[in-house]
Chains A and B, each alone.
Chain A
Amino acid sequence: MNLRERMQPDAAVDWLRVREDFPILRRSIHGKPLVYLDSANTAQKPRQVIEAVDRFYREHNANVSRAVHQLGEEATALYEGARDKLAAFLGASHRDEIVLTSGTTMATNLVAYSYALPRLKAGDAIVVTTMEHHANIVPWQLVCGRAGAHLKVAPITESGELVVEKFVELLTPEVKLAGVVHVSNVLGTVNPVKRLARECRKRGIPLLVDGSQAAPHLALDVKSIGCDFYVITGHKMCGPTGTGALWARRELLETMPPFFGGGEMIREVKFSGTTFADPPHKFEAGTPNTAGFAGLAAAVDYLQGIGMANIAARERELLDCATRRLNDVPGLRIIGHAPDKAAVISFLIDGVHAHDLATLLDQEGVAVRSGHHCAHPLMQFYGVAATCRVSLAFWNTEAEIDALVEAISRARELLA
């Protein structure tokens, strides 16, 4: 199926039946049905993923790539199978372009230390945007600090959109890399990564796209985007924690030295010198989270089984519904109004602290996130210490949005 087909929603999905795949959603919290609205923090897991992890330990547990026995073969096949599925999910040209990591943070740090640091010198710069998660700020700050380089930050508008012209203006010759979030975890803004990649390419500047919040919600094709690095995390896309991936062009991976050293990433070790395995294995030192990747492979199957286009369309419905309902709440202000937006709504209520509100909502069984969302600079841009954030997934319902709004109303009465 090509990307155009993947982006078209097809036959109606029975969303209530899909919801039944998530055992945790049957839980009660403080005597109330759980209303989980924190998927941007971490997604809940369908039974297919839970069973894949369980099955791994019950039936296939062994170390990967270092045992000739049957279980070793099975574990290796599951681990490498996850690489195949992620390659297809991301539209990679080749499975060897997928480095399996513990998540986005490790993937970005790998690029920071293995690609950027050896190429940075004093006076160089890395471009990011105001809306980045700390995971796409701090690794660059660390390597810039070592090299005497600095960060340049592209601004956003009050509505939460990247000012693309300003981003492009920052792409000057001393810039050695740019890092941009695909979908903001706070604002929901979907950045025009294809356009940004084109502008970076023309200037000879590699682009890393942080796809943590995009992978669970959008059909992806890294070749079509035209970036050089794309990083994702498994736990936000229905997979287990401690899983993720870096996609990079193969020729770039070949130029990068290993990041971690240890077992499984070598060709030959001598005390006089060690030679390394080819990419991607030279970046995968030590025993990996094999059970987790068995689960992530199941998560990819699960999402693709529903269809990313169907997921995007359903989440758009839920976003529209939640935005409409929240806009009716007196004193509630939504932060982030980009026209192209994922199902994330950050908001503030006059006179109510975000943590207090989240605590009271929890008493009603409603789980939302409050705080800075690992995006201090963005909070500083809006001049707030914290926001409440509702993040929706395809398994959520309009009834849950009603429950959220009712819980907010009760909380407001208590806090007024």
Chain B
Amino acid sequence: MNTAGLHFRAATAADVGAIVALTESAYRGDASRAGWTTEADLLDGQRTDTREVAGLIARPGSVILLAERGSVHDGTAPRELLACCHVEKQGDACYFGMFSVRPDGQGAGIGRALLAEAERHARDTWHCRAMRMTVIDVRSELIAWYQRRGYRRTGEYRPFPYGDPRFGIPKRDDLRFEWLVKEL
């Protein structure tokens, strides 16, 4: 796992553009195919936009965590954004989403480290008992990755937002999300 020099912090409004670019590259189009998993075969269109990301950053009980490499102390060397995720407190549990790792940096343990940081944040900062997320249920390789991190399938689903292009343009008409959960 090559996570040496990795730093985590909460995003601010100044990070919105970089987060949108990273998320789009991880989820959509040919850029995403450089990673080990993608949903480019399931969806076109956008994954997110500046308005949504800015809203997630500004909302109380909501944070976008960034994983960066490079000095964060001297303020001179540029920091490199490698991964991000959204964590939101929802009652006793936290919701985890918009998980993005730069496609050419995937498979190096960065995502695993950021997920662990998100769980630490949920548990220690917000005192949440569980982390929940939704994953398109046909992305079996991605679900298996989360299962190896301790998440379990629930057999419960939520609809895919068909007809709302903010979440992409589906290439199939049978997509749905399954809830995954991990007790923290």
Is A251 a contact of B173 with CB atoms below 8 Å?
no
How far, in angstroms, from A255 to B174 measured CA to CA in the complex? 22
A256-B174 in contact given A202-B160, A202-B162 (Cβ < 8 Å): no
Give the B-binding residues of A (Cβ under 8 A). Answer: 115, 119, 173, 197-198, 201-206, 226, 251-252, 254-256
The answer to whether B157 touches A204 (Cβ under 8 A) is: yes
Contact, CB under 8 Å: B174 / A201: yes
Bound-state CA distance A206–B177 (Å) is: 12
Q: Tell me the interface secondary structure of chain A in the complex.
A: helix
Query: Is B142 interfacial (CB-CB < 8 Å)?
Result: no
B173 near A202 with CB under 8 A, answer yes
Q: List chain B residues, Cβ under 8 A from A198.
A: 173-174
Min C-beta distance of B137 to chain A, whole Å? 8
Once bound together, how far apart are the Cα atoms of A31 and B158, in whole Å?
A: 61
Give, as a whole number of angstroms, the nearest-CB distance from A204 to chain B. Answer: 3
The distance in angstroms between the C-alpha atoms of A182 and B32, with both chains bound, is 40
**Distance of A256 Cα from B153 Cα, bound (Å):** 11
**Are A226 and B159 neighbours in the complex by a CB distance under 8 Å?**
no
Residue-wise interface mask of B (137-178) relative to A, using a CB-CB cutoff of 8 A (1 in contact, 0 not): 100000100000000111111111010000000000111111
Tell me, in angstroms, the Cα distance from A251 to B177 when the chains sit together: 14
Q: Which residues of B contact A206 (CB under 8 A)?
A: 155, 157
A197 / chain B contacts, CB cutoff of 8 Å: 174
> Please, how many angstroms separate the alpha-carbon atoms of A23 and B158 in the complex?
52
The 29 sampled A-B contact pairs (Cβ below 8 Å) are A115-B155, A119-B155, A119-B156, A198-B173, A198-B174, A201-B174, A201-B175, A202-B160, A202-B173, A202-B174, A203-B159, A204-B157, A204-B159, A204-B160, A204-B176, A204-B177, A205-B157, A206-B155, A226-B174, A251-B137, A251-B143, A251-B155, A251-B178, A252-B155, A254-B153, A254-B155, A255-B152, A255-B155, A256-B155
Residues in chain A near residue B157, CB distance under 8 A: 204-206
- Chain A residues with Cβ under 8 A from B177's Cβ? 204
Contact string, B29-60, partner A, CB cutoff 8 A, digits 1/0?
A: 00000000000000000000000000000000
Beyond contacts A173-B159, A252-B155, A254-B153: 15 other A-B pairs, Cβ-Cβ < 8 A, are A119-B155, A201-B174, A201-B175, A202-B159, A202-B173, A202-B175, A202-B176, A203-B159, A204-B160, A204-B176, A226-B174, A251-B178, A255-B153, A255-B154, A255-B155
Most buried by B among A119, A173, A198, A255: A255
Give chain A residues whose Cβ lies under 8 Å from the Cβ of B173.
198, 202
In the complex, which residues of chain B have a beta carbon less than 8 angstroms from the beta carbon of A252? 155
Determine which of B153, B160, B174, B175 lies in contact with A251 in the assembled complex, contact meaning CB atoms within 8 Å: B153
Instruction: List A contacts of B152 (CB < 8 A).
Output: 255
CA distance A186 to B152 in the complex (A): 42
Q: Give bound CA distance, A201 to B157, whole Å.
A: 9
The smallest beta-carbon distance between A218 and chain B, in angstroms, is 21
Query: With A and B bound together, what is the CA distance between A251 and B143 in angstroms?
Result: 11
Give complex CA distance A357, B159 in Å. Answer: 50
Chain A: CB-nearest residue to B173: A198
Chain B residue nearest in CB terms to A228: B155
